Amino acid sequence: MSAEPLALDVARIGHSYGARRALDDVSFSVAAGSFTVLLGLNGAGKSTLFSLITHLYAAREGKIEIFGHDVARESGKALRRLGVVFQARTLDLELNVMQNFVYHAALHGIGPAETKRRGAGLLERAGLADRAKDKARDLSGGQMRRVEILRALLHEPLLLLLDEPTVGLDIKARADILAQVRALVAERNLAVLWTTHLIDEVAPSDDVVILHQGKVLARGSAENIVTQNGVVDIGAAFTAITGLAAAS
């Protein structure tokens, strides 16, 4: 019996902008049904890697697979299994929440009736059922981000990518979003790659990939990385590994 394919397999990825090397021999994987944190300071290469995984950029060095499908050669099959939340806000502020859902789902071939059924269920579970007819511009920053996450789930992906999803939010909104995404991992067996520069978003049980200046310097569970570096927490491990002050 063959083993279940990895949700995401990044193998020896490199990328340059002219003479500047943004990523250098980057390799790591995300198991199905797991929460993995891609941790690195601003400028580490996280957004470039995100763009390669989502096929916004073509990978010229190395290979990326999503559930066994090569993003370069089988982009349709790979990307159908992928939900994405970009760092920049992407809701149409003049549309209401459900209209944003309908527009997005149509890009995946899902009709309005099915979208409204799925969308209503997602909003109900997230405690946002009463905001379905509100314009996106009337939502708080945290609510906008939670709606973007729900929108990314409409086509029922198996892997969810979130690029710095809590930037600019207050402590409570950040905690609510983290709790929402962690619950999805448990409830839906969803694989998540969460990119951040914020140390306090890492839990001891999380899988962690530390990316610094375009290179993977450590990968494994947060607990193991802490133990291997003989320190008390992941912040101290990050400092020891990168030789820089810990992110905060």
Q: What is the pLDDT of residues 138-191, one digit of tens each?
A: 999 999 999 999 999 999 999 999 999 998 899 999 999 999 999 989 888 899
Same domain? 113 vs 147: yes
What six digits make up the tokens of 21?
A: 């090397």
Whether residue 75 sits in one domain with residue 11: yes
pLDDT tens-place string over residues 87-132 = 888 999 999 999 999 999 999 999 999 999 999 999 999 999 999 9
Q: Residue 124's domain spans which residues? A: 92-156
Half-sphere exposure of 27 (CA within 13 A, CB side): 6
Q: How many domains does the chain have?
A: 2
Q: Does pLDDT of 232 surpass 50?
A: yes
Q: Is the pTM of this model over 0.85?
A: yes
Shared-domain flag, residues 145 and 232: no
Q: Measured between alpha carbons, how far is 68 from 116 in angstroms, rounded to an integer? A: 31
3-class DSSP state for residue 48? helix
How much is the pLDDT for 4?
74
Distance between CA atoms of residues 88 and 154, nearest Å = 19
Specify whether 98 is located in the same domain as 76: no
In a domain, 87, yes or no: no
Same domain for 38 and 141, yes or no, is no
Model confidence at 248, pLDDT cuts 50, 70, 90, reads: very low
Residues 28 and 136 in one domain: no
pLDDT above 50: residue 1: no
CA gap 221, 137 in Å, rounded: 39
In a domain, 86, yes or no: no
Compute the average pLDDT of residues 191-199: 96
| Secondary structure (3-state) at 212 | strand
Q: pLDDT band for position 243 (50/70/90)?
A: confident
Is the same domain home to 65 and 105? no
Distance CA 226, CA 48 (A): 27
Task: Give the domain-ending residue among 156, 178, 196.
Answer: 156
Query: For residue 5, what pLDDT is reported?
Result: 84
Statement to judge: residues 148 and 179 lie in one domain: no
pLDDT value at position 3?
A: 66
pLDDT exceeds 60 at position 56:
yes
Same domain, yes or no: 16 and 44: yes
Domain shared by 130 and 178, yes or no: no
Domain boundary among 131, 156, 181: 156
Report the pLDDT averaged over residues 72-85. 94
